[in-house]
Structure 1
Amino acid sequence: MGHTDGRGQPPLTPAEPYATVRETHTGLVVLVGDLAFKCKKPVRTDFLDFSTPERREEVCQREVELNRRLAPASYLGVAHLNMPCNVAAEPVVVMRRHPDSSRLATMVRGGQPVTDALIAIAEVLARFHKTARRGRSIASHGTVDAVKTRWTTNITELQRFADTILDRQRLDAVDHLASQFLAGRGMLLAERISERRIVDGHGDLLADDIFCLPDGPEILDCLEFDDHLRYVDMLDDAAFLAMDLEFLGHKDLAEFFLDHYSRLAADPAPQSLKDFYIAYRALVRAKVDCVRFAQGHLDATADALRHMDIAQQHLQAGRVRMVVVGGGPGTGKTTLAQGLARQVGAHVVSTDEVRRDMQSSGAIRGEAGVLNARLYADENVRAVYEEVLRRAHLLLANGRSVILDGTWRDPRRRQQARELAAQTHAAILELRCDTAVHTAARRVEARKAGNISDATPEIACALADNARQWPEAHTVDTSRPPAEAVRTAEELWHFAGQRTR
């Protein structure tokens, strides 16, 4: 056996054996001294084919070529193990052996500080993505249909393990949540393509395959057996490591890494897209766990269930939502809307702000202070709510949850909001703020000059009974301290994300 480059001399710790063998679900790794020798198992699965020597040769050569993009010093070449009896020589990838103590997963499990290492990894990955291959054929793998196909393929393969390892109802719930997200996010994914964020990436970024060395991180073992599975959104690529850090029990490190990567990549992606890709990567690893279980590794069951937990939690957290917050003037709806937005990271679209914008631009005219007339004439009110829903549509289609702040006293406007939520496959939550009429009137009277609302105490009293005619809404008692009302709304927000139908 020979290799095509010189040997490195990484220091091994006394605890590490000079020679050892490690097994994965698709190969064997023989560690000897300062070298590692990787060979592929002669297996064929739903997602790879190593069944012939020719196919294994091709995959080994491709592995070295692709991994030299991120770790040129670690991949030395392809050697061949000569077999007896005229059997074809077995290809073996020859690599430098790095100390296990420098493995990111080892460091995380051991509780070592890794924030500096994660910053360095984010920097390496962002630079790699900046110059990674792009093009029309690669970008085509970032469309809604392409991403949906990858998701469905994984779900179909996991269905074989339903009612044995996995719970069928949970699998169906996870599939539904992901399908709802993708169905309403065509605009978002099209924008990702137009921004050239679909690249020939790493495709399998795990903490176990990253070594934190004095000269910087070495990122190994990219996905080499199917080019199409490497053609991914840059965020999807980074989300794999975030998912794995969370799997290792450190969601804080996962968020730290992904936030730092996003800043370096100048990527303003919504949190919902981050959650979706973390869920997708957790699903991929659940599939690998199930394959390992089928190969006789019974302990893989717990890993599969843990990965499914992560997938479901992120799909629920990342579900795009529309919250309609209504009630008469002075009931505290703006305070509730803004307080909830701060807690959950949603965008507020306010009828008061939209009305002021449209008045300034000349789109609507009239003086304030009179109910159902002038500035508040029916045609002006209709125009304001149409603009509110137009702005909400753009945000929802781009994966950003919205909170719509207005009186919402007209059931026709509320129905239009429901139709928009259905169109964008967003979970809808309707909240009606309720407080005593005299309290609402007093609040309006006490407002400081310059408040964006044009309501008067008389309008507050006139609208009080009308606002209560909203049977579909959850009533929130806003006579309480604002923080208590916000907590109630936040609980309802989280419940809305968990509904699968």
Structure 2
Amino acid sequence: MPFSCAPDDLQQKVFAFLANSANHGDRPVHVVTTHGAAVFLAGDRALKIKRAVRFPYLDYSTLDKRKAACDQEVSINRLFAPQIYRGVVPITQRADGRFEIAGDGRVVEWAIDMTRFDERQTVDLLAEAAPPETALLLDIAEVIAASHAAAPIVARGPWIDSILRIVAGNTKAFRAGGFDGAAIAALDAASRAGFARLQPLLDRRGEQGYVRRCHGDLHLANIVVIDGKPVLFDAIEFDPSIASTDVLYDLAFVVMDFIHYDRAAAASVVLNRYLAITSDQHLDALSALPLLMSMRAAIRANVMLSRPAQDAAHLAEIRRTAESYFTLACRLIAPPQPRLIAIGGLSGTGKSVLARSLASTIAPLPGAIVLRSDVTRKQQFNVKDTDRLPAEAYRPQVTAEVYRTLCQRAARILAQGHSAMVDAVFAREDERRAISEVAERAQVPFDGLFLVADLATRIARVSSRIGDASDATAEIAKAQQAYDAGVIDWTIVDAAGTPDQTLLRATEALTTPRAIPRGAGA
């Protein structure tokens, strides 16, 4: 719980002043309060005041500390959102007791001066209202990846040392909040066991430079769409150590929060795009995701318990939200067994569309990691996904290397306890056998789906593609008609209809019980 540090209610008087529309040119004022701040929105301006509180993880107990925090917030957040953060302005008091914004009197408070954005465009509200557009999700992944690439590398020790303290702090808050004791104990034990298992991996990633000065607080309410593009804002400023973490811990907040808003498909798109942008840098760290996402959900529950309530109804809403994050934390820390799914078929049968739609339905959360042969081939030639490759990039020996890479990456993903989905033509028996053997060696369930569609449908689809990684053309689709696929022992899926029809057929095929490879679970 916070410790209030506001003598004689001076800050409350400042809040009342800023909430009065008469002090903003008679423009209506909307006030947003959090556990650490109050934001006053009027016209095209937003003024953010640090609340005079002290928590175990932040201290705004004096005017000097609040001024330093305001300066630091502007400095940090201009890196992410220069179009939002203007600067820091004083709230002053005249000799007659009246307050002014940036007046000549005694400084009694400090405010962060921001350009107001449309608060209806924060991604939490967008996700709550409807499934976010894929283009926005891809942009979110890209802006996060760019922020990580630009973030300075920091020492790994403080981050790793903080993990058990974070777990202990959450456990203490949940007990004080009256959550279910058995669930608290189970989450605490699983989190500690997860850290013990993962500590060597996290330490190694620190050595590799993946511990950086990140945003630190990337829940969906801290991402806003401005001019059609996502902008990250409200990064952690009060304690650099809180934001100095593994980049996957930063990403885990966004992924977890989409899941919390019942948008697992959105979480899957963001995670898959981030991994595609960063090539295979993080495939060997996917085993850390359950712990990192669970910690983020637990932290969100903890923070919600500290949030000030306006009335009894608001308090009940805060409690429900805190409990939902706590429940999610308990769910994420115990992921189920992974599986391997391969989706084959000639160009234009809809493999990639199906893979994107199907990925989020494959446990564990937030869904299978999708490996696409078209993207893998482009990566091998160090070109963008949408750059066309010359004919020689499709020589048999190059294609064989692409399939070897897909098998290797799928094996790495499965070894991390995460599901993989491989999207490729798989026109040859040896290619199909090789991917199924990956599952057999990993001792996980395997499903192979082979999509089929008539030539006219396939030509129409490949001819209408824009900005896609595939280089297939109508001529290639026609040439593929001569392929001899041999004996196909995968499930044949009619993909000539709509994407939804194909998804339904594929889902039905995957829910039919199949044998686990010999030795699975041993």
TM-score range, shorter chain: 0.5 to 0.7
* CA–CA separation in structure 2 for the residues paired with 1:200 and 1:319: 33
Confirm whether residue 206 of structure 1 aligns to residue 219 of structure 2: yes
Letter aligned with residue 307 of structure 1:
Y
Report matched runs for 1:42-441 at 5 Å.
42-84=52-94, 88-111=107-130, 113-135=132-154, 137=155, 139-143=156-160, 145-161=161-177, 164=178, 166-214=179-227, 216-266=229-279, 267-292=282-307, 297-317=315-335, 399-400=416-417
1:269–1:290 Cα change, 3 Å: farther
Q: 1:20 to 1:273 in 2, by over 3 A?
A: same
> What is the alpha-carbon distance in structure 2 between the residues aligned to residue 80 and residue 222 of structure 1?
22
In structure 2, runs of 5+ residues without a counterpart are 1-26, 98-104, 340-361, 365-410, 420-442, 444-510
The alpha-carbon distance between structure 1 residues 487 and 319, as it changes in their structure 2 partners (threshold 3 A), is closer
Alpha-carbon distance in 2 for matches of 1:300, 1:258? 28
In 2, are the aligned partners of 1:235 and 1:274 still within 8 Å (CA)? Answer: yes
Distance (whole Å) between structure 2 residues aligned to residue 249 and residue 256 of structure 1? 14
Q: 1:489 and 1:292, CA in 2 relative to 1: closer, same or farther beyond 3 A?
A: farther
Decide whether the 8 Å contact of 2:337 with 2:363 is kept in 1: no
Return the alpha-carbon distance in structure 1 between the equivalents of residues 78 and 336 of structure 2: 35
Following superposition, the deviation at residue 271 of structure 1 comes to 3.4
Give CA deviations for 1:283-319 in whole Å, capped at 9, x if unaligned.
1001011112688733211111110111111111079
State the 1:31 CA deviation.
Answer: 0.6
CA contact (8 A) 1:243 1:281 kept: yes
Show CA shifts across 1:186-238 (max 9, x none): 33112211221100000101211211122632211011111110011101001
Question: CA contact under 8 A between 2:337 and 2:417: conserved in structure 1?
Answer: no
8 Å Cα contact 1:134/1:200 also seen in 2: yes
Taking the aligned partners of 2:286 and 2:296, their CA distance within structure 1 comes to: 16
Q: Structure 1 stretch 65-74 or stretch 290-299: which is displaced more?
A: 290-299
Per-residue CA distance 1:354-384 (angstroms, 9 max, x = gap): xxxxxxxxxxxxxxxxxxxxxxxxxxxxxxx
**Contact 2:91–2:110 at 8 Å: present in 1 too?**
yes
CA distance in 2, matches of 1:209, 1:142: 22
Contact between 1:185 and 1:399, CA under 8 Å: does it hold in 2?
Answer: no
Long gaps (5+) in structure 1: 1-16, 322-342, 346-393, 403-428, 430-481, 497-501
TM-score of the pair, normalised by structure 2: 0.57
Q: Take 1:277 and 1:227, find their aligned partners in 2: how far apart are those partners? A: 19
Question: 3-state SS of the aligned residue for 2:82?
Answer: coil
Please report how far the alpha carbon of residue 270 of structure 1 lies from its aligned counterpart in structure 2 after TM superposition.
4.1
Deviations 1:411-434 (A, max 9, x none): xxxxxxxxxxxxxxxxxx9xxxxx
Aligned equivalent of 1:447: none
Q: Distance in 2 between matches of 1:401 and 1:203?
A: 25
Equivalent position of 1:443 in the other structure = none
Q: Which residue of 2 aligns with 1:478?
A: none
The one-letter code of the counterpart of 2:128 is: R
Distance 1:310 1:155, change over 3 A: same
CA deviation digits over 1:89-115, x for unaligned, max 9? Answer: 310001111113322122212215432
Counterpart contact for 2:46–2:113, Cα < 8 Å: yes
Letter in 1 for 2:183: R
In the alignment, the residues of structure 2 paired with residue 98 and residue 187 of structure 1 have an alpha-carbon distance, to the nearest angstrom, of: 43
Change (3 A) 1:319 1:26: farther
Residue 77 of structure 1 aligns to a residue in which SS? strand
Distance 2:363 2:31 in 1: 47
Q: CA deviation at 1:154?
A: 2.6
Structure 2 match to 1:384:
none
Q: Is the 8 A contact 1:199 1:232 kept in 2?
A: yes
CA shift in 2, pair 1:344/1:105, >3 Å: closer
Larger radius of gyration: 1
In structure 2, relative to structure 1, the CA distance for the partners of 1:176 and 1:34 (3 Å cut) is: same
Q: Answer whether contact 1:201 1:237 (CA < 8 A) is retained.
A: yes
Distance change >3 Å, CA 27–CA 319, structure 1 → 2: farther
User: Which of 28, 45, 51 matches 1:41?
Assistant: 51
RCO greater where, 1 or 2, for CA within 8 Å and sep 6 or more? 1
Please say if residues 276 and 318 of structure 1, whose CA atoms lie closer than 8 Å, have aligned partners that are also in contact: no
Q: Give 1:100's aligned amino acid.
A: E
Query: Structure 1, residues 12-46: CA drift from partner, whole Å, max 9, x if none?
Result: xxxxx843111112111111111111001111122
The percentage of aligned residue pairs carrying the same residue is 25
Gap change, CA 1:270 and 1:37, over 3 Å in 2: same
SS in structure 1 of the partner of residue 54 of structure 2 = coil
Secondary structure of the 1:316 match is coil
Aligned CA distance change for structure 1 residues 36 and 167 (closer, same or farther; 3 Å) = same
Deviations 1:135-189 (Å, cap 9, x if unpaired)? 3x3x22343x43223322332333322xx2x111101100111111111223311
Most deviating of 177-186 and 310-319: 310-319
- Output the CA distance in 2 between the equivalents of 1:48 and 1:489: 53
- C-alpha distance in 1, partners of 2:205/2:59? 31
Distance 2:363 2:38 in 1: 46
Secondary structure at the aligned position of 2:87 is classed as: strand
